[in-house]
Amino acid sequence: MQIDVINLGNMEYSKALSIQTQQWEKVSREEGRDTLFLVEHPPVLTLGVRGNKDNILIPEQELTRMGVSIEQINRGGDVTYHGPGQVVGYPIINLKHYGKDVHYFVDRIENTFIKLLREDYGITAASGEKTYTGVWVGKEKITAIGIQVKRWTTMHGFAFNVNTDLSHFSWIVPCGLTDAGVTSIQKITGQEQDMQKLFKRTAEVFCDSFGAKPNFVESNFLEGNYE
């Protein structure tokens, strides 16, 4: 089994969401291949269906002045920050191929980063419990996860902090959790990381977690097509 991997580069959130939706329609009808989109966003706050705007701590006018948008979206979870230095992944996966098991899907995402951090950096990470979903290093989250599943096909996904400016998380209460912090590979290692290497490694380990091989595809979504 293969999963197509498409690196969208640096792209505005709204455009990446449109691309996700386009591919979700195909995959959910079993007219397209399971796909992992990888992207790096300019600074943006996304608010899930159960999100509380009170968890955004900066006035919206000030965020607008800084060029930061707020996107209300249909994934689970509360408010999340995306920005430069993150590997953001949007798996469009038909779970009919994986036993129609949402818990398995989330577990495999968490396993991706637990394994990558252990094997590549010697960092011990763990999955959270209940409201503490995602991947954690101690009491600090390094990967946020928020998904939506319709017609047994997934949308949205994960945000993995690599070289992220963690001060931007002061704009929000991350995921609505007041007693938790955030971290990144750069913070833990003290070294800036090669983002392209991390995009590739994330794809490789993600696909391996699902027992699949990555099929790296050149993106022509910039021209509005993907066949």
| Active-site residue flag, 175 | yes
In SS3 terms, the chain reads as CEEEEEEEEECCHHHHHHHHHHHHHHHHCCCCCCEEEEEECCCEEEECCCCCHHHECCCHHHHHHCCCEEEECCCCCCEEEECCCEEEEEEECEHHHHCCCHHHHHHHHHHHHHHHHHHHHCCCCEECCHHHCCEEECCEEEEEEEEEEECCEEEEEEEEECCCCHHHHHHECHHHCCCCEECCHHHHHCCCCCHHHHHHHHHHHHHHHCCCEEEECCCCHHHCCCC
Catalytic residue among 36, 47, 93, 175: 175
What are the catalytic residues? 175
